[in-house]
Amino acid sequence: MKPLKNWDNKTWLSSKKYINQFHKFLKKKVILKKNTRVLDIGCGRAYIISFLQKKYKFETKAVGIDILRNKNTRKNILFKKSDAIKYLKKGNKFDIIIIKQTIHFFSKTKIISLLNLAKKNLNTKGTLLIFSLKTKNNKIPCFKKMKKQLSYSLKKDEILFKIIKKNLKRIKEVNFNFNVRISKKKYVSMIKNRYMSCLLNLSKKELNKGIDEINFNFKNQLNFTDTLKCLSFRK
Ligand SMILES: C[S@@+](CC[C@H](N)C(=O)[O-])C[C@H]1O[C@@H](n2cnc3c(N)ncnc32)[C@H](O)[C@@H]1O
């Protein structure tokens, strides 16, 4: 897959409101204290763990890994440019491992290696949290071709979810909902920047056609719910 560079590049996913709400959700799932060790796999610009590091002043800096080092990645955490599986093989232990909106980058066999290593790297009573777009009735505003690509990707996610549930066995499942209010102008610029992986392989022509569709079909203000499924596993 081509590199995903603009996912959290000044989008709702990096907004204060989103990170605050995500933190509130996390607090209900895990205990966050000074001595908690946190790993974020596929952390992007690391907005989430950077917020947590600032808030909880972890004694051991939160670690974020990503195959891509983006410009303006947060500086107050320990960022490692690495493939997830390669990093996990080092065997460093954590209390919380977050894998947010990243599973779709893994094949069916690679996801099993990822899960096995993540479990191994959890401390006793540690928690693995996996977040991914809900696969049914998704509200992300799309143009036709984008919808087709997204549906294809979500079908793959359904297979991955089955593999994850089989592998982890004891999991809890809840949704994280975020109400997005965004101007059409801003959303179009996100599409131009190919903010989602389902946009990465479209040609320039397909993208421009899609933007025309969005401009025609949507009002100036877009309001929708961004829903993530959260699967949590406790060791
Ligand atoms: C959709 S973004 C999610 C970023 C962040 N977790 C968030 O939710 O805001 C997925 C990220 O996973 C990273 N990624 C993809 N494959 C990876 C791999 N094998 N190892 C580590 N990171 C990977 C991508 O570079 C990208 O930054």
Residue 200 domain flag: no
Collapsing DSSP to helix, strand or coil, 162 comes out as helix
Mutate to test the pocket of ligand 1, among 8, 10, 50, 66 (most ligand atoms within 8 A of CB): 66
Q: What is the pLDDT of residue 1?
A: 77
Residue 187 domain flag: no
Q: Residue 25 is part of a domain; what is its CATH number?
A: 3.40.50.150
Is 0.95 surpassed by the pTM of this model? yes
Q: What is the pLDDT of residue 25?
A: 98
Residue 156 domain flag: yes
Distance CA 62, CA 40 (A): 8
**The residue count for the chain:** 235
Q: How many domains is the chain partitioned into structurally?
A: 1
Could you list the residue range(s) of the whole structural domain that residue 108 is in?
12-182+225-234
Number of DSSP helices (H) and strands (E) in the chain, helices first: 7, 7
Q: Is the dihedral of CA 22, 29, 85, 132 positive or negative?
A: negative
Task: Read off the pLDDT of residues 102-138 as tens digits, 9 standing for 90 and up.
Answer: 999 999 999 999 999 999 999 999 999 999 999 999 9
Residue 206 domain flag: no
User: What CA–CA distances, in Å, run from 125 to 36, 87, 177?
Assistant: 12, 21, 26
What are the helix (H) ranges across 73-195?
84-88, 108-120, 144-168, 184-192
Residue 213 domain flag: no
Q: How far apart are the first and last CA of the chain?
A: 32
Q: Residues enclosing ligand 1, CB less than 6 A?
A: 4, 7-8, 13, 42-44, 65-68, 83-84, 100-102, 105
Distance CA 35, CA 145 (A): 47
Per-residue pLDDT of the chain (235 residues; tens, 9 = 90+): 789 999 899 899 999 999 999 999 999 999 999 999 999 999 999 999 999 999 999 999 999 999 999 989 999 999 999 999 999 999 999 999 999 999 999 999 999 999 999 999 999 999 999 999 999 999 999 999 999 999 999 999 999 999 999 999 999 999 999 999 999 999 999 999 999 999 999 999 999 999 999 999 999 999 999 999 999 999 9
Q: Ligand 1 mean position to 196 CA, how many Å?
A: 11
